[in-house]
Amino acid sequence: MDSNNKQSDQLDLLWGVKAIAGYIGLNERQTHYQIELGLLPVRRQKRLIVASKSELRAHFGAANIAGDRPIAAAPAPIAAEEATPA
């Protein structure tokens, strides 16, 4: 593997739950829970949890780049007319 590929691979990784949570737009506890359930594509390096940004984007079906906006979006609020039964 040449140095350009190695550097690119390292830039794609998120090291630790805090970094992963920030990237996907959840808090740390929510992220831990998702990991415990096996719902996120992560790996363990001894005690440290590592995730690939590209694998997370593929997992969520999102093509947005980190920094644009969180991958996990809050649900849209219910409009008043939808909330009241007919």
CATH code: domain of residue 40: 1.10.10
In a domain, 55, yes or no: yes
- Residue 76: strand, helix, or coil: coil
Tokens found for residue 44: 């363990």
pLDDT of residue 33: 95
Q: What is the pTM of this model?
A: 0.62
Q: What tens digit of pLDDT does each residue of 37-48 get? A: 999 999 999 899
Number of separate domains in the chain: 1
| Domain hosting residue 49, numbered range | 7-62
Please enumerate, as own/partner, the contacts of 17-22 that have beta carbons within 8 Å and a separation of 24 or more. 17/49, 20/49, 20/51, 20/56
Whether the Cβ atoms of residue 70 and residue 77 lie closer than 8 Å to each other: no
